[in-house]
Copies of this chain bind each other. A is one copy, B any other.
Amino acid sequence: MNLDILLQQVAFIHEIDKIKYIQRKTRLFNSDRTENDAEHSWHLAVMALTLAEHSNEPIDTLKVLKMLLIHDVVEIDSGDVFLYDTIVNHDNTIAERKAAKRIFGLLPAKQAEEFIAIWEEFETGDTPEAKFARAMDRFEPILQNVSNQGGTWTEYNVPYDTVIEKTRKIQHGSETLWDFTETLINDSVEKGYIKKTNDQ
């Protein structure tokens, strides 16, 4: 046994435990309790397993799972950024890249490179796997908000145009899930959970 390798891997396993304390804005299904990043990552991974057939393009499911399981690890250092935040841009910030380097850097060098490459691919969002993984990341809070009488949409008064703008990326991963999402969003407008901008 190469003990050094194993000790580095155990240090990484220990460190990432911290995402269980990172609270998102969205709440569990039919619930007032906010979701943490570990719960979120688990749910997205099972969603990907369940919904893979709806991907626009053929995908390597293992790669999608890798992306979803580690995509939020950087938030240990950089914190969760709310999807509908109007000031902070979520994607590819300098803080997140620095966090990736530090946290994945706990692993043996070759494995660190591999994990960082997977994370970068997810963040860039260009490959079929990244598009589908990102669709999962957008789709979960929609289901949660629908189950919570509008959830973060009503709580933060997010207008219809912004909801569409922020969730449309689902279409890049799955036209089927986007069609379904549009139905859910329109239904949420009818129920008064989401306001069209010109109603305000």
Contact = CB atoms under 8 A, between A and B. Distances in A.
Interface residues of A, number: 41
A41 B65 CA distance: 13
A113 interface: no
Contact of A43 (B3, B13, B111, B176): B13
B6 A180 contact: yes
> How many copies of this chain?
2
A1 B65 contact: no
Nearest to A73: B46
A120 B65 CA distance: 21
A70 B46 CA distance: 7
Interface string A26-59: 0011000001101101110111011100100000
Interface of A: 1, 3, 6, 9-10, 12-14, 16-17, 20, 28-29, 35-36, 38-39, 41-43, 45-47, 49-51, 54, 61-62, 65-66, 69-70, 107, 111, 143, 147, 176-177, 179-180
